[in-house]
Amino acid sequence: MKSRFGIVLVLCLGLATAAFAAPANRATALFAGGCFWCEETAFEGVPGVVAVISGYTGGRVPNPTYEQVSSGVTGHAESVQVIYGPSKITYEKLLDIFWHNVDPFQSNGQFCDHGNQYRSAIFYRDEAQHKAAEASKARLEEEPRFKGKIVTQIVPASTFYTAEEYHQDFYKKNPVRYYSYRTGCGRDARLKEIWGEAAGGHK
């Protein structure tokens, strides 16, 4: 029979092993597509996606607040960090979801939101993500309607700052305001216009 100390030791070692093993089973992707409330819902609940976090990236001011970012003076974009299991979903699939939830033709904004803080962008974390992002764009540009017209940025990732807690899972916390905003902004109507039946949905 194992002593209590022995059991605790085994449990601790097991937890330590799990903690160290976790990074190998997780990866992150970083996207900007206008309002991060809506970008969250594009990835939430997708099989293989572990978590989606709203935040700010691509700017020059450390630890920015929502008020600073929304004013457009920090250079950050409202964005989402997608934590996923590569064995369950590929980065290429996440890119496909991303494209079908943005207007790739709109520069300096998305839908009714205007300003650099609402730009669409793929922030790649390594060369593999960079190549995958460029390849996904190239596939879209095989269609004449996309050729030379996509303005979505593909740029290196910089520091990602998590947004204030009240922004996380906003569609669950304040569904009336979320749906009112989403409808009023014309997001789904424009996505349908661009992507047809393949347009990204929402919760």
Question: pTM of this prediction?
Answer: 0.87
Contact partners, residue 149, CB within 8 Å, separation at least 6: 104, 105
Give the per-residue pLDDT at 201.
74
- For 30-89, the pLDDT digits (tens) are 999 999 999 999 999 999 999 999 999 999 999 999 999 999 999 999 999 999 999 999
Domains of the chain: 24-198 (3.30.1060.10)
Q: Of 121, 120, 102, 117, nearest to 66 (Cα)?
A: 117
Contacts of 168 (CB under 8 A, 6+ apart): 40, 53, 54
Active site residues: 35
